[in-house]
Amino acid sequence: MNNLEWLGEWYQRNCDGGWEHSYGIKIETLDNPGWHVSIDLKETDYYNLQIDRLNQDNGDNDWITCSITDGVFKGFGDNLKLDKIIQIFRNKVENIDFNGGNQL
């Protein structure tokens, strides 16, 4: 399953009749150009998910930044990094251990 399909399924699993009215996922373009992905973790099993801030900058056409702040995953990247941003989030979600915290 590709990352966008996986993200759609993650969203569907978290829709409970209420969550999706206040929270959700935003995928937007940036004017430099690039992508901004915002994924609300509030009121999900992933609210306490943590990630070390990732910041790679190899110039105007090769950069990515991802973090989780106040229960929101935020990913920014150049115009070719949308899939990688989603993959970083997917990796964190798929490697969480609900009994003992993050595995990664």
Q: What is the pLDDT, as a whole number, of residue 97?
A: 59
Helix, strand, coil percentages, rounded to 5, for the chain: 30, 35, 40
Q: How does residue 65 score in pLDDT terms, banded at 50, 70 and 90?
A: very high
pLDDT at 10 over 60: yes
Q: What is the pLDDT, as a whole number, of residue 96?
A: 74
User: Which runs of consecutive H residues, i.e. helices, occur in the chain?
Assistant: 3-14, 19-22, 82-94
pLDDT at 67 over 90: yes
- Can you tell me the distance from the alpha carbon of 96 to that of 46, in angstroms, rounded to the nearest whole number? 9
Neighbours of 10 (CB within 10 A): 18
